[in-house]
Amino acid sequence: MASFPDSVNENDIGKAKFIGELLVPVAPFDQKSGRETWTVAFAPDGSYFAWSQGHRIVRLVPWSRCLNNFSGSNADMSTGPGPRRLSRQNSDGALSPSIPREHNIDCGDIVWGLAFGSSVPEKQSRCVNIEWHRFKFGQDQLLLATGLNNGRIKIWDVYTGKLLLNLMDHTDIVRDLTFAPDGSLVLVSASRDKTLRVWDLKDDGNMVKVLRGHQNWVYCSAFSPDSSVLCSVGAGKAVVAAQLCVIGWYWAKGRTGV
């Protein structure tokens, strides 16, 4: 029997309602192959919603536009004319890169994992010193990491769609990605090659650590709010934890079994 915390009103759960649906236009010859939709993600500031819509494509949609469309008609996003550009022009006529606009990114392979990263902290960390790095990101920079079927991780500039980094150390599908919430742009990838890898995007995407401990595929990982602990799960009945301190990463001695 399921139970809920005291702070959750069980009656409110039953009141949740469907607000809209995002659909991909489908050609008559394309009913099955390539239409994988494995993952979705929100930008930390709520500006973008990203989803892998199949055929190697990630669609980036300004979330405010989604809400406006849903509240107006509950129609799907594939109807009507092509994507409505929300970018504005500066006084010199150039496009302002920080204004959300809808666009697609072709990642070159099936997309399994998505994660947004920003140099603006979501939560302040007590452990990580991020004062100096070679790869300088602006305070308004928003990145999208995509984990691919061929084991690669591609890092994109969300506003321009430009490919910034191509990380290639995994030997199997990159199943999940997560950024540290402290604004350090430390990225952790979980793969079917049974490892997690830690990348420092501010240091030219340098891979700083390989975390081994899973005996099977790794499916998912998550940081603690202060970015000091990483927990991961895979094709096994255990949660594996690693801790990040000023001396680096190390595996916790114990596991939490199911």
* Res 25: pLDDT: 67
**For the chain, what are the domain ranges?**
110-257
Per-residue pLDDT of 197-224, as tens digits, reads: 999 998 889 999 999 889 999 999 999 9
The pTM assigned to this predicted structure is 0.76
Yes or no: say if 61 and 48 are a contact pair by the CB < 8 Å rule. Answer: yes
* Res 123: pLDDT: 57
* Res 29: pLDDT: 55
Which residues of the chain fall short of a pLDDT of 50? 1, 73-96, 125-135, 246-247, 251-254, 258
Looking at the domain covering 110-257, what would its CATH class be? mainly beta
* Res 24: pLDDT: 72
